[in-house]
């Protein structure tokens, strides 16, 4: 997902439109759940895109391990999943802390027995112009967004490769594909995540484990809620569909890659952006 400092483009203005997302309540009865009896781990699942993915997976029959930086957010989403009739486990974790990642993954595997789907969604922004960016702002974004995905994936990889099946989905951003002024750290982390996805896909393919990325555009989340009205208008002019996306749009993409529909897809970047990158 993009942060709060968009680049400029020239495009005729147009009114913002609302794009309807199909709610889970409209899921057709009688259709077999797409993720029945599977166990998914979603990082950064305490809110926004991660929460939407966790709930979508649960609605499709998966039991979900909710990983977030705080125990409060993790348990809140886990409770929502249990209310859907699925099992859920809550873990508080800083994904950039290698020792904590390894110990948490050991606990998850002991609790769940196996993991079928891993979604690396944990991410932060520290926007600012390059010439004024501090070392700390660079480090925290790269450590969380890129190092965190590496640590989590490495920790789960042995179990996934041994079971010869699995889905790994990394949440990147169109900022990592086209760059974004004021986000050199964020763009670098997400571009790195795309390269990481493609390399890991090549390594894991022989064992039946797929690795893909989703690149969201501007999505209505806490990160974009801080945009001033005039800045929102600038952003909307960049989106051919004329509207910000919803977290559920990304969740639908993640479901496609996680379910049987994504069986023959690996090393790819699914761009969900209303047409910004084409």
Catalytic residue IDs = 186
Closest of 91, 20, 27 to residue 58, by C-alpha: 27
Closest of 100, 155, 102, 152 to residue 123, by C-alpha: 152
Closest of 36, 47, 195, 16 to residue 116, by C-alpha: 36
Residues 6+ apart with CB under 8 A from 69: 44, 46, 92, 93, 94, 122
Dist CA 151 CA 78 (whole Å): 23
Question: What is the three-class DSSP state of 69?
Answer: coil
Structure tokens that stand for 136 in this block: 């700390």
The single residue listed with the structure tokens 């979603």 is: 42
């Amino acid at each position: 997902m993009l942060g709060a400092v968009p680049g400029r483009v020239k495009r005729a203005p147009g009114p913002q439109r609302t794009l309807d997302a199909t709610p889970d309540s409209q899921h057709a009865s009688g259709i077999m759940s797409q993720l029945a009896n599977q166990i998914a781990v979603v990082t950064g699942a305490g809110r926004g895109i991660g929460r939407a993915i966790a709930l979508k997976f649960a609605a499709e029959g998966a039991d979900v391990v909710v990983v977030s930086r705080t125990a409060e957010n993790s348990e809140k989403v886990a409770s929502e999943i249990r209310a859907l009739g699925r099992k859920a486990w809550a873990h508080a974790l800083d994904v950039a802390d290698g020792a904590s990642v390894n110990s948490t993954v050991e606990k998850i595997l002991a609790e769940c027995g196996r993991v079928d789907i891993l979604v690396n969604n944990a991410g932060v922004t520290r926007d600012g112009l390059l010439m004024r960016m501090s070392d700390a702002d660079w480090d925290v974004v790269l450590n969380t967004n890129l190092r965190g995905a590496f640590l989590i994936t490495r920790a789960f990889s042995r179990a996934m490769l041994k079971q010869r099946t699995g889905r790994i989905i990394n949440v990147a951003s169109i900022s990592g594909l086209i760059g974004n002024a004021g986000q050199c750290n964020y763009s670098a982390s997400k571009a790195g995540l795309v390269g990481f996805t493609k390399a890991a896909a090549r390594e894991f393919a022989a064992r039946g484990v797929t690795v893909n990325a989703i690149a969201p555009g501007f999505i209505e989340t806490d990160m974009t809620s801080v945009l001033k009205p005039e800045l929102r208008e600038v952003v909307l002019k960049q989106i051919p569909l004329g509207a910000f996306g919803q977290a559920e749009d990304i969740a639908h993409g993640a479901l496609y890659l996680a379910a049987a529909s994504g069986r023959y897809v690996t090393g790819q970047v699914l761009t969900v952006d209303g047409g910004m990158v084409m």
